[in-house]
Amino acid sequence: MARRPLPRILSNGSAQLARSRELARTAADSATDVLHPLITIARGLRRLAAAGRRRWTETPKERRGALLFLAASVILVVALVPYGPLLAAITLMAAAAWQGRDRSPAASDGPDESQAQRLKSLYEALVPYFSAAEDPEPLYSHGGAWDKAFPTYAFDGGGRISQLVVRYPAYFTDGEAEARARIEHLLAAKSGRGREYHFTWDEEGNQLTVGVLLPLPVDIAAQRFVTTPGETVLGFTDPTRVQRTLPLTHGGRQRDVPPVVWRTGLRSTEPHLLALGQPGSGTSTLLRSIALQALLHGDVVIVDGGGTGEYACLTGRDGVLAVEAGLAGVTASLEWAATETERRLIAANRAHQAGHPPPDDTKRPLWILLDRPTAFTHLAAADGRKDPQSLLQVPLRHGRPANVTVVVADQLDSIDALIDPVRQHTRARVVLGPATAEQLEAVLGAPPHTTPIDELPPGRGYARLGSGPVHRLQVPATPNPYDDATPDALCEAVLSLLPPRTTPADGETIPEQDQSEDAPEPVPAAEEPEPEAPQTPEAAPAAVPVLTEETLPNPVPVLTKET
């Protein structure tokens, strides 16, 4: 049986479809050109009708009768006048054509005189960097044409450059960081100071794209972010740098903002964080924001080296194991954290060897937040005690398999006082506040693609997670709610995120109750469950709990479930 040939539309269908599409596009363009007068008149009639309807609605009701009488009189006069309807139709078409004309301003073919002068000066400033005496056809030369070097440019409303594409010769050393830094500094100075510029180097095409970055929003208050367990929102960045957005409330309405998300846990490559900045740059705000997010699924131990009560709102809250501001309390808390890390590792290792899943008490995340730990280094040295930072070696080295995360925040001037394990094991880095390009590269490990500026709002800086790109960062507004200078709206936002207080609070005493015949037997409070203890045949559960007046040990409560 002979095969029938395929239809012609299937054999060369793609070519026919492309040809048909081109014919349809050509026919549509021709029809648009032919019918352009009719389209203009129809648009004008629609605008005239809208104007008449607007005038009718704006006329008071008591004057609408007179207006109708006047319109009827005009129509009657036009109908009785010789050639009146024809003249009225011609007048109406002319008015509609005038109203329906294209009112968009014509785009200018080139820059005006001031813009051309600015581009000319920028071109002359780049000549010493992009020219060579051996070049037979130099792209940059004194008195040369700037339009060949700048194929694309744009200006803002103030007459300053907002976007620019710079072509440079192939022999320019664009692979050297110092050569790039010189060009970036020059372009930022000539284009206008006080703004942040983003530079994109295309080494293959020998082009540099300069763009002006919009300011990041500084009024995004702390709130519940749509994240999964193990994800922490450090702040917000530019939409072109990340491929994810978070829905949140900003300015009384819902909007999507691109975040900088830090992932922790067993599969994280950056399990610990180091944040540095100048005084007042917002490092304490960042720690409060992290603490509020960590309390949703874990426990928190806070070390306050500043001693200013920045974390007093977290004291006694559910999930906050300790908030320490003294040397003795800090040492005891960090010793317990190291012991707890070892216990978790041993319990998880035994479960793995036995073929069982890890115990539940090793799965709950434990966060250790330290604000200015170098302040206790000097106190410990003066008292002849051990540096509390040395107790962080076990949580830093073995914290990831034990679900223990360490966050250290300190000042840029105290970076040399941090011990080597802190600098080596904190692969997630944040720099807040004003900083030089050398400081940013020393802390982040790579220079940012934007030009740093001198004046920054609190919580503004840069972040880099591991070996990823450097992001601009704006920390959510998470101030101390007990500060009198804090706006009420921000205070209420932070207080709404705080967990309830633990009952009874640490350090309280429980008074003894009178055991009379009429008094009912005391029952344990529902908010304070009894500590778990191994059940033995000799020990039976007591009917009445033991009440005592002894206070809980200071500086930290009992932080383990072991008896």
Which amino acids are annotated as binding site for ATP, given as ranges?
277-284
Q: What is the DSSP letter of 360?
A: G
List binding-site positions.
277-284
Backbone φ and ψ for 101, nearest 5 degrees, come out as -70, 160
As a whole number of angstroms, the distance between CA 477 and CA 216 comes to 13
Backbone φ and ψ for 240, nearest 5 degrees, come out as -85, -5
DSSP 217-235: PS--B-------TTEEEEE
As a whole number of angstroms, the distance between CA 195 and CA 527 comes to 54
* Token output for 357: 């899943």
Burial class (CB in 10 A: 0-12, 13-18, 19+), 93: middle
The answer to whether residues 284 and 371 touch, using CB atoms and an 8 Å cutoff, is yes
3 state DSSP class of 423: helix
CA angle 451, 457, 458 (to 5 degrees): 120
Q: Pairing between strand 460-465 and 470-474?
A: antiparallel
The answer to whether residues 295 and 320 touch, using CB atoms and an 8 Å cutoff, is yes
Angle between helices 488-497 and 283-294 (to 10 degrees): 40
As a whole number of angstroms, the distance between CA 446 and CA 437 comes to 10
Q: What is the DSSP letter of 199?
A: E
Read off the amino acid at residue 365. Answer: P
Q: Which long-range contacts (CB under 8 A, 24 or more apart) does 513-519 make?
A: 513/547
| Element spanning 255, H or E | strand 253-257
3-state secondary structure string, 435-475? CCHHHHHHHHCCCCCECCCCCCCCCEEEEEECCCCEEEEEC
In whole angstroms, what separates CA 198 from the centre of its chain?
17
E strand residue ranges, 43-202: 152-155, 161-167, 197-202
As a whole number of angstroms, the distance between CA 507 and CA 505 comes to 6
As a whole number of angstroms, the distance between CA 220 and CA 252 comes to 10
CA angle 25, 27, 30 (to 5 degrees): 110
